[in-house]
Chain A
Amino acid sequence: MSALYPQTEALSSRERAVLNLYAISALAVFLLLMLFGLAMRAAQGRWINISPQVFYQLMTAHGAGMVGTVGLASSAIMWFFLRKYVRLSTAMFVANYLLFLLGAVLILAAVFIGGFGGAWTFLYPLPVHTMGIWSINAAAVFMLGYLVIGVGFLLFYLDAMLAVMRVYGNLGRALGWQWLFGGTIDKSHPTTVVASTMVIIVNTLGILGGAVVLVMCLVNAYVPRFPLDALLVKNLIYFFGHVFVNCSIYMAVIGVYELLPRYSGRPWGVSRPFLWAWAASTVMVLIVYPHHLMMDYVMPHWMLVTGQIISYTSGLPVFLVTAYGALTNVYRSGMRWRMPAMLIVLSMFGWAAGIVPAIVDGTIAVNVVMHNTMWVPGHFHFYLLLGVLPMVLAFLYHVAGGSSRSLETAGDRLSLAVYLIAGLAFVGMFLAGGRASEPRRYAVHFAEWLPYDRAASIAAALVIAAMLLFAIRISGALLKAGSGEKGSGEVPAHLPG
C-alpha cells in the first residue's frame, strides 16, 4: 500500500463487489441518459424526428435519472471514504443500491411503458391532468419510484448517522461545532466526517419533504376531492429536489478532500473557516430553494427576496473553502498530474464556472427574463457535467487505477481533453441559446434556434464518445481488480470487528 492507496481504504471482496456494482451501474446509466440527451438536442435541431410525446418522455427520464444517478455515484464516494473513520454497514449500502434499482425500474416503466412525460418535477396538477397521454397509474408509479429511491437513501443516511454518533457523540461534534467560537481545533478531525455529517442532516430533511409531498400527490391522484395547493406542492418539490442535488455535489466533494492532498503531497485539514463554511451551508442549503420559484408571483415577497440573498451566499462558503483550499493545495506542490488529479482540477473549474450563471439567474430581475430559457439548463449542466461528474470520474479512476499506471494512457488523456472542450461547447450552446431567448422544455424549435441545437448535438456526441471510453476503461479495470483479488472479507484492521 502506498500513500495514494492507504491500508485503511482496503476493500474486502464483498465491499469491492458492491462498489463495482455502484460504479459500473452508474457509468452505464450515465451513458444511456446522455444518449437520451443527445436525442433531445438532435430532435430540437431537426436532425432526427421524434414526436413531442417521446421528447417529453426522454426529458423526464433524463432529468430524473441523471439527478438520481449522480446521487447514487456520490453516495459511493461518501461510503468509500467515510468507512475509514466510522463503521458503516455494507448491508445498508447494498440496500440503498437495490432500492435505487427498484425505483429506477418503476420510473422507467412509468415513462416508457406508461408514457409519463411530466418532467422530473411532476409539478401538480400536471401528473393528474394527463390529457389522455398517460394514465393516473403511470403518474403514480413514477412517484412511487421516487419514494422507493428515497427509502434507500434514508437507510444509508441513518446507518451513517449511527456510525458517526458512535464515534463523535452527536452530529454537532462531528461537524466540529464545538470549535466554531474558540478552542483548539483537532487538526486530525476528518474533513470527510464534516461533509458527510452535513449531508446526512440536510438530505434526511430533504427526503422528509419529499416523502410528505409525494404521498400527498398520490392521495390526490386517487382521491381528487383532496385538492392540493399547487404552490405549496411546488415549494416542497423544489425543497427536496434542490437539497438532493446539492447533497450529491457535497458527497462528491469528499473525494476532492481525500484525493487531492495525496496527489499534491500536501495535507488538507480542518480549520475554523472550513468548519464555519460547512455550518453555514448546513443552514443555507435548506432555505435557498425559493430561487427556483421567482417566477411564481404569488409567492410571499419576503421568500423571494430571501431566495435571492441566500442564492448569493448559499453555495459560496463551501465552494470558497474548497476551491481556495484546492488552489493553495495545488500551487507549487509538485503535483502528480495523473488522471484523478486532472479530473479534480477540472471539477473545481466546472463547479466554479457553473455557479456564475446560477447566481446570475438567482437575481430576481434577471430571473423573470432568463428562467424559462436555455440559460438554466446551461448552468446546471455546467456544474453537473463539468463539476460533479469529473469528481465522480476522478474517484473511479483513482479506485480503478490501483497503484499501477494502466489507466494513464494517451487515450485517457485525449478523452479528457475531448470531454473538456466538447463539454464546454455543449454547455456554452445552452447558455448562448438562453441569451437568444431560446425557451427551455420545448420539443420543437424555430429555425433561428437550430444552430445552437445542432452545435450542441455535435458537442454532446463528442462528450458521449469520451464518456464511453472512460466507462470502458474504468469498468474493465474495476472488474480486473475484483477478479484478481483474493479479498479476505474481513473488517479492516483499524476498525473493530
Chain B
Amino acid sequence: MKRAHAGLAAGLLPVLLAAPPLQRMLEASMTAQMLVQIPLLAIAGMLLGKSLPESAANRIQPWNRGGATGLIVVTFASACWMLPLSLDAAVVSPAADLAKFLTIPLLIGLPLASSWPRMSFVLRGVLLFEALATLFRMGWLYLISPVRLCNSYGLSDQQRLGEWLLMAGTALLLCIAWQLLWGSPKAAAGAAGPPGLRAGRPA
C-alpha cells in the first residue's frame, strides 16, 4: 500500500468507526467492541505508522532500539483496554470513548507498526506467544465468571466473547503453526539465512 493511501485510510477509518450508527452497533455488544472495533482502531494506528515519512521514522528509531520501547507502550496500552472496566467506561463516558479512539491507534497500532520491523525474531515470538496466552486466558476468564464484569453488557454476551476469544486464539495458533511448519523461509525467519550454512542443505 502506498504511503498516501495508508495515510488516507488511517484518517478515514477512525472517522468511519466514530459515525454514530456504526459506533452504536459496534458498542452494543461486548464481543463486537472487543473483537471488531478495537482491532480496527489498532489497524488505523498501524496504517498511520505506514504513512509516516521516512525522516520521521528515522527520528524515532534511536528511542526505539530493537522495538523495545514500542513494545512496552503496546503492552501497557493493550492491558488497559483488555479490562472490562475500560470497555464499560467507553460505553457510558464520552471522555473514555474519546480516550479509546485516541489511545488505541496512537499507543497500540502506531508503536506496533514502527516496532515490529525492528524487533528480533525472539522478541516477536515472545509477543505472539503472550498474545496467544492472553487470548486463551481472557477467553477462559470471561467464560467462567459467574457475574457480569461490565454493567453495560449481559452475562451471555460476556460468555460469547469468551468463546470468541478462545476461537481467535486457536485460529491464531493454527496460522502461526502453519507458517512455521510449511511457510516460506523469509516470512518465517524474518531474515535471510547465513549463506555458508544454506548451501547444500535439504533439497
Residues of A within 8 A of B (CB): 85-87, 92, 154-155, 158-159, 161-162, 165-173, 176-178, 183-184, 186, 189, 201, 204, 208, 211-212, 215-216, 219, 225-229, 494-496
A sample of 19 inter-chain contacts (CB < 8 A) reads A87-B194, A155-B122, A158-B125, A161-B180, A162-B122, A162-B189, A166-B185, A166-B189, A166-B191, A166-B197, A171-B180, A183-B203, A186-B202, A186-B203, A212-B133, A216-B140, A216-B141, A219-B137, A219-B141
CB-based contact A170/B133 at 8 Å: no
CA of A86 to CA of B194 in the docked complex: distance in angstroms? 9
Instruction: Report the 4 A-B pairs with minimum CB-CB distance, sorted nearest first.
Output: A166-B193, A169-B185, A158-B125, A496-B194
Residues of B within 8 A of A (CB): 121-122, 125-126, 129-130, 132-133, 136-137, 140-141, 144-147, 173, 180-185, 188-198, 201-203
CA of A159 to CA of B125 in the docked complex: distance in angstroms? 9
**A171 CB contact (under 8 Å) in B145, B181, B195:** B181
A165-B180 contact in complex given A216-B137, A495-B197, A496-B197, C-beta closer than 8 Å: yes
CB-based contact A226/B141 at 8 Å: yes
Which residues of A have CB within 8 Å of B146? Answer: 225, 227
CA of A208 to CA of B128 in the docked complex: distance in angstroms? 11
Which residues of A have CB within 8 Å of B182? Answer: 170, 172
A211-B202 contact in complex given A158-B122, A169-B185, A170-B183, C-beta closer than 8 Å: no
CA of A158 to CA of B190 in the docked complex: distance in angstroms? 13
**B133 CB contact (under 8 Å) in A85, A165, A215:** A215
Which residues of A have CB within 8 Å of B130? Answer: 211
Which residues of A have CB within 8 Å of B126? Answer: 154-155, 158
A170-B180 contact in complex given A212-B136, A496-B197, C-beta closer than 8 Å: yes
A212-B201 contact in complex given A165-B180, A171-B181, A496-B195, C-beta closer than 8 Å: no
Which residues of B have CB within 8 Å of A228? Answer: 144
Closest to A166 in B: B193
CB-based contact A178/B202 at 8 Å: yes
CB-based contact A212/B140 at 8 Å: yes
CB-based contact B196/A495 at 8 Å: yes
Closest to B197 in A: A167
A159-B122 contact in complex given A170-B183, A186-B202, C-beta closer than 8 Å: yes
CB-based contact B129/A167 at 8 Å: no
Which residues of B have CB within 8 Å of A167? Answer: 193-194, 197-198, 201
Instruction: Determine how close the nearest CB of chain B comes to the CB of A380; give it in whole angstroms.
Output: 28
Which residues of A have CB within 8 Å of B122? Answer: 92, 155, 158-159, 162
Closest to A162 in B: B121
A225-B125 contact in complex given A161-B180, A162-B189, C-beta closer than 8 Å: no
Instruction: Determine how close the nearest CB of chain B comes to the CB of A155; give it in whole angstroms.
Output: 6
Instruction: Determine how close the nearest CB of chain B comes to the CB of A491; give it in whole angstroms.
Output: 10
